[in-house]
Chains A and B, each alone.
Chain A
């Protein structure tokens, strides 16, 4: 290990990592004294007593040692996790600090030589390695903090706990305990390091020689790492020490980024010079190449230095409060850190604006890091959603920055207005990135809300008037694009995304005390109203054609959807209003917050209804006046209207609006709406039906649904009762109408709510016969068939639990006819096509159909579990179980093993099957031979499936069958009768009874195959009744197993294990809970005992 001179870097690294592994393996076996002597040698080496090369190797070894002992980077050793954990703790407690000191001393010992001489290559190597090691030590996952959490976490698999944080930004917090204080903080290390870096910097910039070399990079990384120091390492002295520490660092870092304009100019100058060089013909040959290379190096160095500076700011922002963050710079500069941050970012954005969007530049990265810094400052992780109070300077800085951001975004928008070669794929991937950026902007804007809102209002009004003045003569595209991005920014600033919940008014707007309580003068109200008014203008055909482009409408709809979720008729607003109307009388409204003012302004008592009306009319306009604009209409359907009907209090008003009933009437009659994309029609139907929950009583709700859907059902019945249906049906326009009708009905069916249940049931039941006719007619038109099946599935699913016995019988009969018809059309059918993709399509269509049918059966099943009807089904002689088994019998022949390869279908099928077998095992005995053997085959198949969930379900089914049979036969009944016993099949071969077969299979599985340990419990539950059913066979199999073992010890171990499997733990022959549990325990022990030698790898 001390053969130092070897030049082979890779070999060295390997050797040291092997040595580290060896050391770790033997960690507990070495005595302390042995370790002491060993580490003494290392120490000697790393301090440079044996020369520079040995020093380098020593440090290298320490590095591999640390990485080996850190759980996330350790190599697999086939040892228990506990062992790794113990090693980690031991190293952290006893050695890590020592290593740190050695490394630091090593670095110190060579640092001077590096700064003084030009040729200290080996020293540089050592120093770099040392810096890297320090960095690694600081990256250690410190756990033994002072808060005494020393328990070994056996379950976490070495993933850092703060993974969420490192996800958000690139900085990882360093939280060593207070034990490290004297070493890290109190010593002069930081000053030394900063000095070292400054020295390096000067030296390199003088000589024009590579300054982006590893040593400089490691030094910078280490400095950043020091910036992220936090936690109990700092004493609780109001952060004085921490402030001092950060100040030290900042004074070193500041040169990298301040003054921002100079830095960015330097970088950009370098760029342009470079481009100058690359443009010049290569006449200068070698010389220009040389200069070019140096230039590039210098440039990339400046960039990365600047980026690292930004990262350091981010690290500081993460560990400090905004106030402290701002204070830091005050002592060395006349302004605070916020100002620096803001100017820096403005500078970055300025550079960014001059670049083409697809050019990969440093400014992108810098902007993202700085945005993260703002986010870290404005939304610290520990204060969940609370507001962060910025120092006044911070607010000003945010205001300046936001103003600048908006301006540059607008500029970017108008500049990009005519790029229409945007690749749509690229667009979609960048949308989420854009969203993230916009929400960071929103945070900045909310930090300076007083400035941001009026600013946005001003920009909006300016653009709106410009559009009007243009009046069609000028090309409005640039302005349109500006309005587009303004709407996006404003939407993000004003409201949060709901993500399924009702978002609250952002705290900044909520808390912001308005200058005047008069709502008309509230800046937020002004901004919102001006946008709503602008949206309203899209109703005017003239202005619509001149400047409301589809893209602009998309932004408007998006804005309205987002905004209305937060502000429109919020229940909070109406409560406040009723309360404050009293307060008004008492003249006590002096301190109503801005948020309440806005909410009240848009509540149902004030302007809410007018705005709602406008929104609905705009929505109608997007359907009627933008034909074929699928994306826009999708936004209206899925975002805007869905968001509206999700809120009960909005529904109440919706149904009273004239515009809403206009939409409903148009939906029922207007041809334009039949031209919508079919799935949009589905969504629209759902929305319209859902809004019926806004009616006070169920009578009028049902009436509304009846009127709404009446046309559709009548139309469908009419189509299906045509005499020449067969001929007409295949015409494309008929297919289109049927498709649309089915989608609409499906949408309505999926909106089943107790209040509208009656009318939706009537809607479905009136077309049952028609659907059967259509099923026949369209048997070759798989797209129609699928829709039809989906409609039935959703309708049954929504209705089944409410139906009375009479109705249930009708529905069940219908479903059976449907199943029979479908099966008669499809069984044994083979599609022929030249195109493999069309064949695949046919296959996946079939799969979707079958899945729908299984869902149908599953929802029928649920009737036995959830039933709101008044009388019991049995009274009417219908048994759900019979029906579902019959259904399964129809469906199973259609399901080929090929189709079971689709994982979703497979799960659906097996969950239905195992449910049936578990709940109604008695039905199995009544199945005919064919159906029965089909079920068995699929069970066999399922047992060997790779999806452990499927295997689990099969085992549950087996358990149910076997235990049913055992209990029945024990009480002298038939059980599964002939199915269970061995039979001679027609060819005269002996066929085993099912339980014998499954006993074999299960044992085989348990003993010899690979499976997830989670399955052992379920397997035990299945095996136990199986053994009880087939005791003779079990004995025989056991004996066979024992006979097969050649090794005597194994033989006796196996005998004993088999013995104790069935006898230990007072296992008895009854199938009760106690025994199942005992058997589980026995089986686990049995497997642990024998699988090791039975299974040969």
Chain B
């Protein structure tokens, strides 16, 4: 057990790392995986064998969490895959600027102004509508491998 803990500790220190190795066989549906350098969410895993008496390999179908594109990969199931570190932070939405940026309030009271609004009209209108209704909105910002995007919003204001 202590061994396990140690392993865990050392990883925690290497916090700057963007991805972690993980055995392909342990990655499940709904987990994350890096395919072709993109952070993805796994939507389908199937296993097959290399030759009749060979070893198992996993076939992943995954969707890029930022641009929604579908990617596939085949990895021997005992080998390691890269798993992205996906981070989500909640901020209160302060303002939406004309030039397509949002102004967010961080936990320690500063503002974060470098996040662009999504370009997709549908997502954009969902955010803008809520904001213009005067609701108190909290946005969740998902960041992974150096990219950031708003992934959810939530109305926290009193009705």
**Residues of A with C-beta under 8 A to B79:** 628
Closest-CB distance, B35 to chain A (whole angstroms): 14
| Residue from A477, A671, A737 in contact with B3 in the complex, judged by beta carbons closer than 8 Å | A671
By the criterion CB–CB under 8 Å, are A628 and B23 in contact? yes
With A627-B25, A832-B126 already in contact, the answer to whether A838 and B32 are too (CB < 8 A) is no
Interface 1/0s, chain B 43-86, versus A by CB < 8 A?
A: 10011111111111010000111111100000011110001111
A917 to B65, CA, bound (A): 43
Interface 1/0s, chain A 547-559, versus B by CB < 8 A?
A: 0011110000000
Closest-CB distance, A629 to chain B (whole angstroms): 5
Q: Check if A171 is an interface residue, CB within 8 A of chain B.
A: no
Q: Check if B93 is an interface residue, CB within 8 A of chain A.
A: no
By the criterion CB–CB under 8 Å, are B12 and A832 in contact? no
**Residues of B with C-beta under 8 A to A730:** 85-88
By the criterion CB–CB under 8 Å, are A832 and B151 in contact? yes
By the criterion CB–CB under 8 Å, are B5 and A675 in contact? no
| Residue from B1, B118, B140, B150 in contact with A715 in the complex, judged by beta carbons closer than 8 Å | B1
Q: Check if B22 is an interface residue, CB within 8 A of chain A.
A: yes
By the criterion CB–CB under 8 Å, are A828 and B86 in contact? no
A676 to B25, CA, bound (A): 7
A831 to B76, CA, bound (A): 33
| Residue from A417, A732, A734 in contact with B52 in the complex, judged by beta carbons closer than 8 Å | A417
A677 to B154, CA, bound (A): 34
**Residues of B with C-beta under 8 A to A782:** 30
**Residues of A with C-beta under 8 A to B11:** 731, 733-734
| Residue from A419, A728, A783 in contact with B31 in the complex, judged by beta carbons closer than 8 Å | A783
A715 to B118, CA, bound (A): 40
By the criterion CB–CB under 8 Å, are B30 and A837 in contact? no
**Residues of A with C-beta under 8 A to B41:** 838, 841
**Residues of B with C-beta under 8 A to A794:** none
By the criterion CB–CB under 8 Å, are B63 and A838 in contact? yes
Q: Check if B123 is an interface residue, CB within 8 A of chain A.
A: yes
Question: A-B contact count, CB below 8 Å?
Answer: 168
**Residues of A with C-beta under 8 A to B53:** 417, 477, 480-481, 549-552
**Residues of A with C-beta under 8 A to B152:** 780, 829-832
By the criterion CB–CB under 8 Å, are B153 and A832 in contact? yes
| Residue from A629, A718, A827, A833 in contact with B151 in the complex, judged by beta carbons closer than 8 Å | A833
Interface 1/0s, chain A 521-549, versus B by CB < 8 A?
A: 00000000000000000000000000001
Closest-CB distance, A482 to chain B (whole angstroms): 12
With A631-B47, A780-B88 already in contact, the answer to whether A736 and B8 are too (CB < 8 A) is no
By the criterion CB–CB under 8 Å, are B12 and A841 in contact? no
By the criterion CB–CB under 8 Å, are A549 and B85 in contact? no
With A630-B77, A736-B26 already in contact, the answer to whether A420 and B49 are too (CB < 8 A) is yes
A122 to B25, CA, bound (A): 70
Q: Check if B37 is an interface residue, CB within 8 A of chain A.
A: no
By the criterion CB–CB under 8 Å, are A627 and B23 in contact? yes
Q: Check if B101 is an interface residue, CB within 8 A of chain A.
A: no
Q: Check if A355 is an interface residue, CB within 8 A of chain B.
A: no
| Residue from B1, B28, B65, B120 in contact with A711 in the complex, judged by beta carbons closer than 8 Å | B1
Q: Check if A724 is an interface residue, CB within 8 A of chain B.
A: yes
By the criterion CB–CB under 8 Å, are B85 and A627 in contact? no
**Residues of A with C-beta under 8 A to B140:** 780
Q: A674: nearest residue on chain B (CB-CB)?
A: B4
Closest-CB distance, B17 to chain A (whole angstroms): 8
A669 to B2, CA, bound (A): 9
By the criterion CB–CB under 8 Å, are B56 and A830 in contact? no
With A677-B26, A731-B20 already in contact, the answer to whether A424 and B48 are too (CB < 8 A) is yes
| Residue from B7, B52, B78 in contact with A477 in the complex, judged by beta carbons closer than 8 Å | B52
A202 to B8, CA, bound (A): 85
| Residue from B7, B56, B120, B155 in contact with A828 in the complex, judged by beta carbons closer than 8 Å | B155
Q: Check if A678 is an interface residue, CB within 8 A of chain B.
A: yes
**Residues of A with C-beta under 8 A to B52:** 416-420, 422, 477, 480-481, 549, 551
By the criterion CB–CB under 8 Å, are A734 and B8 in contact? yes
**Residues of B with C-beta under 8 A to A424:** 46, 48
A837 to B46, CA, bound (A): 18
A727 to B11, CA, bound (A): 12
A1019 to B8, CA, bound (A): 61
**Residues of B with C-beta under 8 A to A715:** 1, 4-5
Q: Check if B109 is an interface residue, CB within 8 A of chain A.
A: no
Dominant secondary structure of chain A at its interface with chain B? helix
By the criterion CB–CB under 8 Å, are A731 and B85 in contact? yes
Q: Check if A32 is an interface residue, CB within 8 A of chain B.
A: no
Q: Check if A835 is an interface residue, CB within 8 A of chain B.
A: yes
By the criterion CB–CB under 8 Å, are A732 and B153 in contact? no
Q: Check if A49 is an interface residue, CB within 8 A of chain B.
A: no
Q: Check if A497 is an interface residue, CB within 8 A of chain B.
A: no
Q: A417: nearest residue on chain B (CB-CB)?
A: B52
By the criterion CB–CB under 8 Å, are B88 and A551 in contact? no
A550 to B153, CA, bound (A): 47
| Residue from B7, B49, B83, B84 in contact with A550 in the complex, judged by beta carbons closer than 8 Å | B49
With A834-B123, A838-B68, A841-B30 already in contact, the answer to whether A628 and B46 are too (CB < 8 A) is no
**Residues of A with C-beta under 8 A to B127:** 832
With A828-B154, A832-B127, A841-B30 already in contact, the answer to whether A420 and B51 are too (CB < 8 A) is yes
Within 8 A of B (CB), among A797-847: 827-838, 841, 845
By the criterion CB–CB under 8 Å, are B5 and A832 in contact? no
By the criterion CB–CB under 8 Å, are B28 and A835 in contact? no
A712 to B72, CA, bound (A): 34
By the criterion CB–CB under 8 Å, are A732 and B151 in contact? no
A604 to B10, CA, bound (A): 49
**Residues of A with C-beta under 8 A to B66:** 834
**Residues of B with C-beta under 8 A to A838:** 41, 43, 63, 65, 68
Closest-CB distance, B43 to chain A (whole angstroms): 6
- Quick one: which of A734, A780, A833 has the most chain B CB within 10 A? A833
**Residues of A with C-beta under 8 A to B76:** 628
Q: Check if B15 is an interface residue, CB within 8 A of chain A.
A: yes
Q: A836: nearest residue on chain B (CB-CB)?
A: B68
**Residues of A with C-beta under 8 A to B153:** 829-830, 832
Interface 1/0s, chain B 115-159, versus A by CB < 8 A?
A: 000101001001100000000000010100000001111111000
A513 to B147, CA, bound (A): 75
A631 to B57, CA, bound (A): 11
By the criterion CB–CB under 8 Å, are A724 and B12 in contact? yes
Within 8 A of B (CB), among A377-420: 416-420
By the criterion CB–CB under 8 Å, are B12 and A731 in contact? yes
By the criterion CB–CB under 8 Å, are B55 and A629 in contact? yes
**Residues of A with C-beta under 8 A to B126:** 830, 832
Closest-CB distance, A723 to chain B (whole angstroms): 11
**Residues of B with C-beta under 8 A to A733:** 7-8, 11, 20, 22
Q: A710: nearest residue on chain B (CB-CB)?
A: B1
**Residues of B with C-beta under 8 A to A724:** 12
By the criterion CB–CB under 8 Å, are B56 and A629 in contact? yes
Interface 1/0s, chain A 587-629, versus B by CB < 8 A?
A: 0000000000000000000000000000000000000000111
Closest-CB distance, A372 to chain B (whole angstroms): 30
Q: Check if B104 is an interface residue, CB within 8 A of chain A.
A: no
A734 to B87, CA, bound (A): 13
By the criterion CB–CB under 8 Å, are A678 and B1 in contact? no
By the criterion CB–CB under 8 Å, are B26 and A675 in contact? yes
A550 to B151, CA, bound (A): 42
**Residues of A with C-beta under 8 A to B58:** 628
A549 to B30, CA, bound (A): 30
**Residues of B with C-beta under 8 A to A627:** 23, 25, 77-78
- Quick one: which of A480, A632, A731 has the most chain B CB within 10 A? A731
Closest-CB distance, A363 to chain B (whole angstroms): 24
With A481-B52, A731-B12, A838-B63 already in contact, the answer to whether A832 and B123 are too (CB < 8 A) is yes
6 of the cross-chain contacts (CB-CB < 8 Å) are A550-B53, A675-B23, A675-B25, A736-B26, A780-B152, A838-B68
Supplied contacts A549-B52, A628-B25, A731-B85, 15 more A-B pairs, CB within 8 Å: A418-B52, A480-B53, A627-B78, A629-B77, A631-B47, A714-B1, A728-B12, A732-B85, A780-B140, A830-B126, A830-B152, A832-B118, A834-B123, A835-B64, A841-B43
| Nearest 3 interchain pairs by C-beta | A835-B68, A628-B77, A549-B53
